[in-house]
Amino acid sequence: IEKPDARLSIGFIYIAFIALFLGGLMGLLQTLVRSGEFTLPFGIGYYQILTAHGVLLGLVLTTYFIIGFQYTLMSKSVGMSEKQRKWAWISFTMMVIGTLMSGTMILLGKANVLYTFYAPLQAHPIFYIGLALFVVGTWISCFVNFSQLRQWKKKYPGEKSPLMAFMVVINMLIWLISTLGVAATVVLQYIPWSLGMVEEIDILVSRTLFWYFGHPLVYFWLLPAYMAWYTIIPKIIGGKIFSDSLARLAFILFLLFSIPVGFHHQLTEPGIDPFWKYIQVVLTFMVTIPSLITAFSMFATFEMTGRKKGYTGLFRWLKGLPWKDVRFLAPFIGMVAFIPGGAGGLINASNQLNGVIHNTIWVTGHFHLTVATTVVLTFFGISYWLIPVLTGRKLTKQINKLGIIQTFIWAVGMTIMSGSMHIEGLLGAPRRSAFSNYGGTQQAQEWVGYQIAQAIGGSILFIGILLMVYIFIKLAFRTPKGEEEFPVAEYADPTERTPKVFENWRLWIGIAAVLILIAYTIPFIDIIQNAPPGSPGFKWPIGNT
């Protein structure tokens, strides 16, 4: 890709790795505090570091890595004009200013509101204003990506868009549609409330608007990993893309079903009619289908590649995969983690089982498998070739070896930490709480061993983070100059005809909008109209004054 495009992407990736280091440090401190063996110095609060950990890793690392990576995919597949690049830098600048504003408030202890930041927790207005600026910055990137594909389409009328660009546009559509919810709650509820312009805030409205965004957010994290699985991994293993149509279908299903499902985070909340929770749970099970399609496609690609290399038998073809290549190994371990991670998601989404795990540390275990292993290990896997491509360097054998060690450290640390979180959650331990012996109750005694295991897992993971940051510095500034391969896979069947309807954007955006309206309109009106008398009312600027 062109040098100015590389500079843009690496700008985003730098911020992502700074966030990885700082956020990882906060994570280490947090598991140590929860073990009961360590107290934070200088009056630093538990919720201050928990917020910093969640925001830095869940929001900053992910968003910056994703947008930077997606720009690279767009530059490679459809190109970027001067004007688009200028707007992309404007987007970057706004995001950075917003991040610095919100981040400063967190560090000052004036925004101890966790990464989900919904009411009744309240932060300093600058935290919310920074957040709004950050979101608007990301919207500019959405429109830059849309215009990149539109420009390509104009140049090649009637041709099928490149798969990478198609996937990026879907992901940015999900982001754009879902962040409308979070922007609404920040601008209409939190900013006026935190500035003291209104005294009250409707908590259920704020949580509903948050989760309207919060669930699609997890797919915004996941889809770039899927982009790499579908379009890059086949090339790395010496294979080909199993099916273009199936890949596009999976992404379209995410666009349709990832948004109207936020209620599965609110199953225990009063004030939402159970019928609408039921509808959204059904839609949640629909959104697992594209992941099952992806699992099928990956297995198919792996098996076809192994057999092509001459390996036979039921599973002997696994031997044909390049286990010593970290560009494959790290994402592969991520895929394996998604088998229990996804199964945990199905448990969470089932109403009765949700009653067992909700607000326990099981949920924290779930998302450390999904986002912190499946997604993050794939992002690490991408970094081994992406950073040298962007900085004009080579991935050396030594870094490859260190990468393999890093992957194992991550897998071991996460198995210990996430595994003990799952079990401790089933024993009833709450999430998001500092260490307590709960008045010496018998039940809390049972949790202690698991909390120590989490501190051990967390410490191993921190070593993994330090090693990854070292690898990043090597790849960005130290390894020998050269041309690293940008792996782009070909199709197994180049004559495959992808249905034209897959590129009918109006149709898919229209269906997505209809599904959102069905899932949210009536319950939202209910929420606003039926606030019980005396409950903190939603008074301004919309609501039942």
Positions in the binding site for ligand HAS (CB under 6 A): 116, 218, 221-222, 264-265, 284, 287-288, 291-292, 294-295, 298-299, 335-336, 338-339, 342, 345-346, 348-349, 354, 358, 363, 366-367, 370-371, 375
| Active-site choice (124, 366, 393, 422) | 366
Q: Bin 81: left if φ > 0, else alpha if -120 < ψ < 50, else beta.
A: beta
Q: How far is the CB of 350 from ligand HAS (least distance, A)?
A: 8
* 367 counts as catalytic: yes
| Active-site choice (38, 432, 435, 491) | 432
Alpha-carbon distance of 109 to 130, in angstroms, equals 15
With a CB cutoff of 8 Å and minimum separation 6, the contacts of 352 are: none
| Active-site choice (368, 393, 450, 520) | 368
Q: How far is the CB of 347 from ligand HAS (least distance, A)?
A: 8
- CB closest to ligand HAS, residue no: 342
Q: How far is CA 538 from the centre of its chain?
A: 31
Q: Bin 107: left if φ > 0, else alpha if -120 < ψ < 50, else beta.
A: alpha
Cβ proximity to ligand HAS: between 361 and 460 the closer is 361
Could you give the count of Cα atoms lying within 13 Å of 259 in the half-sphere of its Cβ?
Answer: 30
* 124 counts as catalytic: no
Cβ proximity to ligand HAS: between 178 and 370 the closer is 370
| Active-site choice (92, 127, 367, 450) | 367
Cβ proximity to ligand HAS: between 332 and 385 the closer is 332
Helix (H, G, I), strand (E, B) or coil at 159: coil
Q: How far is CA 109 from the centre of its chain?
A: 25
Q: How far is the CB of 354 from ligand HAS (least distance, A)?
A: 5
Cβ proximity to ligand HAS: between 92 and 212 the closer is 212
Contact (CB, 8 A) for 174 and 219 = yes
Contact (CB, 8 A) for 185 and 116 = no
| Active-site choice (85, 207, 215, 327) | 215
Cβ proximity to ligand HAS: between 6 and 123 the closer is 123
Alpha-carbon distance of 363 to 359, in angstroms, equals 7
Contact (CB, 8 A) for 485 and 232 = no
**b/e per residue, 320-349, with b = 16+ CB within 10 A?**
bbeeebbbbbbbbbbbebbebbbebbeebb
Q: How far is the CB of 272 from ligand HAS (least distance, A)?
A: 14
Q: How far is the CB of 318 from ligand HAS (least distance, A)?
A: 6
Alpha-carbon distance of 98 to 109, in angstroms, equals 17
* 219 counts as catalytic: yes
Q: How far is the CB of 182 from ligand HAS (least distance, A)?
A: 14
* 265 counts as catalytic: no
Alpha-carbon distance of 71 to 77, in angstroms, equals 10
* 53 counts as catalytic: no
Cβ proximity to ligand HAS: between 295 and 466 the closer is 295
| Active-site choice (69, 118, 219, 242) | 219
Could you give the count of Cα atoms lying within 13 Å of 197 in the half-sphere of its Cβ?
Answer: 12
Cβ proximity to ligand HAS: between 54 and 388 the closer is 54
**Which amino acid, residue 57?**
L
| Active-site choice (431, 435, 470, 486) | 431
* 65 counts as catalytic: no
Length in residues, the chain? 545
Q: How far is the CB of 281 from ligand HAS (least distance, A)?
A: 7
* 431 counts as catalytic: yes
Which residues are the active-site residues? 215, 219, 366-368, 431-432
